A and B are shown apart, each in its own frame.
Chain A
Amino acid sequence: MTGQPKRTPLHDLHVELGGKIVDFAGWAMPVQYPAGIIAEHNACRTKAALFDVSHMGQVELHGELAAAELERLVPSAMVGLAPGKARYTMFTNQNGSILDDLIVSNAGDHLFVVVNAAMRDQDIAHMRDNLAGIRVVERSDLALVAVQGPKAEAVVASLAPAAAHLRFMETAKADLAGIPCRISRLGYTGEDGYEISMPASEAEKVARALLAHEDCEPAGLGARDSLRLEAGLCLYGNDIDTRTSPIEAQLNWAIQKRRREEGGFPGEERILRELASGPARKLVGLLPEGRAPARQSTQIVDAVGAVIGEVTSGGFGPTVGGPVSLGYVLASHAAPDTPVSLVIRGNPVPARVVSLPFVPHNYKR
């Protein structure tokens, strides 16, 4: 990244709240507030936490055939996604690996797409280059906040009653504290919650109104990472990237039956083959013994010390109360309860493979 990191519309609020600002993907973002990452993590698991995610790219796809065109870039079903519904998917390349992951919502007269901050320029170029006859509109004029946690409904519905009627992966336009917003019931923490898209000029007003609720605390990128890790949700750039396929990443559920039957997406040869006969390696949860976190790039070895994989994300899970990691292992070692070792600072630490998530999802389906 060159030059000054970009600021979100909530930058002044982060500073006012005592946020510790770091450069993340070219954006000045709060990694934590004075409460600290563990307290912010726990607020999200027990009450509600507000995250600024305005650094993510918000894009509209206009054109009658937007869904059909988008299907040429992703392996998920987009045609048939009902108005008011959202779906997780990923851009794949010709090798069947992942260019980015994204959420697509059917907003009625267009598709509303949210992509990762680090990938937004590349993703937008990718769509402009490949979606014939579709108008790709980057909405840099919008902000995005996430309100996540068991009290998220109480917090958001106190200002936007319609939010209570949404279920997981549903989206609607609604006024929140008098501001026109798009409210989507989804997130990146494993908890119930919402992402709220709104005009950048009104973002501070909306965030302050949400934070005024007694059960809503500000949370930074640090807690966002520990929450998504415990929820077993992939982070692009760590757990998924152009070296991993959706099937290796255990994202099979994101590829609907019609797409498996019809194909017609980049990398379909590899992806359909791995769906049929299994990938060579799989993303798994790893629970190390003891308390030492096994972080990204930690080697995973078998009983005789042969390398069988690598940790892609790892750290301390505040809700688990100990270290948790995600990593790829050979398919032969991917079954739950398989004993492995994680080489931390030269020492093999016993660990076992576990099914994901580490902390059960708490979605309102």
Chain B
Amino acid sequence: MSTFYTDDHEWVRVTGDHAVVGITRHAADQLGDVVFVELRAAGERFAKSDEIGVIESVKAASPIYAPVAGEVIQTNQAVVDVTSILNDDPEATGWLYKIKLADVAELDGLMDADAYAALIA
């Protein structure tokens, strides 16, 4: 299992050709109180950089972009029902999607933890 990061402040935790996707602590802190989350349903396919949902804070709506191409295996209904989970625990219980990767090689274009830490420093 390894974790990758995007410059849209998402994390992608990969096991084989499956991954869990969420937003980073930095992203959650920048958003502030999350009040609404809209996610795609299981079975939907998407290309890299597609909008695959929206997170709204009190102040603004922010799109969620697909970090890689793939298919939604599972949506985290808990963050839709209790949006504060995204503020409290964005990198664990606040995950957004479990996905199946279309092309594992796309991960090469993402950042590792050190590169992401440097980005937000």
Which A residues have a C-beta under 8 Å from some C-beta of B? Answer: 20, 31-32, 36-38, 222, 225-226, 291-293, 295, 315-316, 318, 323, 345
Contact = CB atoms under 8 A, between A and B. Distances in A.
B54 A38 contact: no
A291 B54 contact: no
B112 interface: no
Contact of B36 (A222, A226, A291): A291
Interface in B54-106: 54, 56-61, 87
A363 to B, nearest CB: 25
Contacts of B38: 292, 345
A39 B91 CA distance: 23
12 contacts: A31-B59, A36-B33, A37-B33, A37-B59, A38-B35, A225-B59, A293-B36, A315-B58, A315-B59, A316-B56, A345-B38, A345-B54
Contacts of B36: 291-293, 316, 323
Nearest to A20: B32
B61 A295 contact: yes
Interface string B30-55: 00110110100000000000000010
A318 B57 CA distance: 11
Contacts of A295: 60-61
A292 B56 contact: yes
Nearest to B59: A222
B83 to A, nearest CB: 8
A297 to B, nearest CB: 12
Given A37-B32, A345-B38, 8 more contacts: A32-B32, A37-B59, A38-B33, A222-B58, A222-B59, A291-B35, A316-B35, A316-B56
B32 A36 contact: yes
- Give the interface size class of chain B: 10 to 19
Nearest to A31: B59
Contacts of B58: 37-38, 222, 226, 315-316, 318
A126 B102 CA distance: 62
Contact of B35 (A20, A225, A293): A293
A19 B54 CA distance: 26
A294 to B, nearest CB: 10
B76 to A, nearest CB: 16
Contacts of B56: 292-293, 316
The 6 lowest CB-CB distance pairs between A and B, nearest first, are: A316-B35, A37-B58, A38-B33, A36-B33, A291-B36, A316-B58
A270 to B, nearest CB: 35
A231 to B, nearest CB: 16
A292 B32 CA distance: 16
Contacts of B54: 345
B52 to A, nearest CB: 13
Contacts of B61: 293, 295
B89 to A, nearest CB: 15
Contacts of B87: 36
Task: Tell which of B33, B56, B60 has the most Cβ of chain A within 10 Å.
Answer: B33
Tell me which of B36, B56, B58, B60 has the highest count of chain A C-beta atoms within 10 A of its own C-beta.
B58
A8 B61 CA distance: 29
A272 to B, nearest CB: 39
A224 to B, nearest CB: 11
A355 B72 CA distance: 42
